[in-house]
């Protein structure tokens, strides 16, 4: 392992840690203010993460910078597993309409946010 590679790994750990803590804080802040019937915290995290990832992609960063920003930070910030678990639990609770709305909103808003983030980066 070269010194450059080691620095990237340390960066991934640090930046990923920041992303995961930020995800927790955003989800918790929104969850405390909103009704618990819809997983709005996770939706907010994932849509904003999609916008960030689109922005990073639009910047065409060097490989190591893209790894740190996209994979480490945004990858740790967003949460596919929580989204699926919350959707599955809505289904278990027979809130099928809410589960399908969660899926539709997440995909639609996430795609739109990613495209918007990429467009903004390309304007810079």
CB neighbours of residue 117 within 10 Å: 22
16 is in an annotated binding site: no
70 is in an annotated binding site: no
- Find, among 23, 90, 19, 22, the residue nearest to 56 by Cα: 19
Cβ density class 33-60: b for 16+ within 10 Å, e for less: eeeeebbbbbbbbbbbbbbbbbbbbbbe
Question: Annotated binding residues for Na(+), as ranges?
Answer: 75, 78
Question: Annotated binding residues, as ranges?
Answer: 75, 78
């Amino acid at each position: 392992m070269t010194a450059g590679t080691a620095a990237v790994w340390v960066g991934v750990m640090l930046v990923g840690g920041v992303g995961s803590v930020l995800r927790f804080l955003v989800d918790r802040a929104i969850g405390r203010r909103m009704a618990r019937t819809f997983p709005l915290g996770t939706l907010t995290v994932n849509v904003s993460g999609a916008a960030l990832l689109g922005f990073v992609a639009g910047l065409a960063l060097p490989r190591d910078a893209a790894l740190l920003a996209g994979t480490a930070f945004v990858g740790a910030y967003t949460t596919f597993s929580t989204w699926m678990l919350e959707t599955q639990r809505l289904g278990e609770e027979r809130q099928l309409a809410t589960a399908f709305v969660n899926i539709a909103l997440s995909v639609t808003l996430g795609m739109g946010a990613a495209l918007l983030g990429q467009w903004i980066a390309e304007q810079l």
